[in-house]
Amino acid sequence: MSPLELFAAALGVIAVWLTVKQNAWCWPIGLVMVLIYSWIFYDIKMYSNVLLQVIYAALQVYGWLQWTRRGPTLEVRAITWLPSGAVFIGLGLGVVVSLVLGGLMANFTDAVQPWLDAALTGFSLVAQVWMAQKRVQCWPLWIVIDVIFVGLFVYKELYVTAALYGMFLLLAIQGWREWQRTPALAQ
């Protein structure tokens, strides 16, 4: 456990809690967190997760813009459900990214757990895009991803990060409950 990992974990808890509460400051705080974690994951040879953090950085900006857009033709994004067809397309894209990235990492790098790391990366991207779009389905996907991440980080002896993802899991459960109770939730 390093002070840097501890700091990044603290930022992560704050960012996800703010997401649950629909506070747009989750995005800039999350940006700092993912930049720090890109370095941490590089150091332990989890290259798919390094790539994930870099993409997360761009998605943090996207999320900020989605959650703060204003103007005569742009309303602040509301929480909505994705149609089932869009859910299957998103999950299918997660599978494709997982397979392509896993193959690249397994064959061309010295990555640790290349297939699992790639699968978590692929599906995390889907969940992150859905979160930026305020789709309720982001939360059950995050729940599954966070459970698996906890095990992976324990295996890699990143105990603070494993605890962080355990907290993410609890926050994802809370987010799923709160977002489903939103009065203006459109089906």
**DSSP notation for 136-185:** TTHHHHHHHHHHHHHHHHHHTT-HHHHHHHHHHHHHHHHHHHHHHT-TT-
Is residue 60 within 8 Å of 27, Cβ to Cβ? yes
Contacts of 86 (CB under 8 A, 6+ apart): none
Q: What is the pLDDT of residues 116-135, one digit of tens each?
A: 999 999 999 999 999 989 99
For residue 10, pLDDT over 70 is answered with yes
Closest CA to 168 of 115, 124, 106, 133: 124
**Beta partners for 140?**
none
Strand partners, 135: 80
Residues 6+ apart with CB under 8 A from 139: 172, 173, 175, 176, 179
Taking only the tens place, the pLDDT of each residue in 131-154 is 989 999 999 999 999 999 999 999
pLDDT, tens digit (0-9, with 9 covering 90-100), for 60-101: 998 898 888 776 666 667 889 999 999 999 999 999 999 999
In angstroms, how far apart are the furthest CA atoms of the chain? 51
| Mean pLDDT, the chain, whole residue set | 90
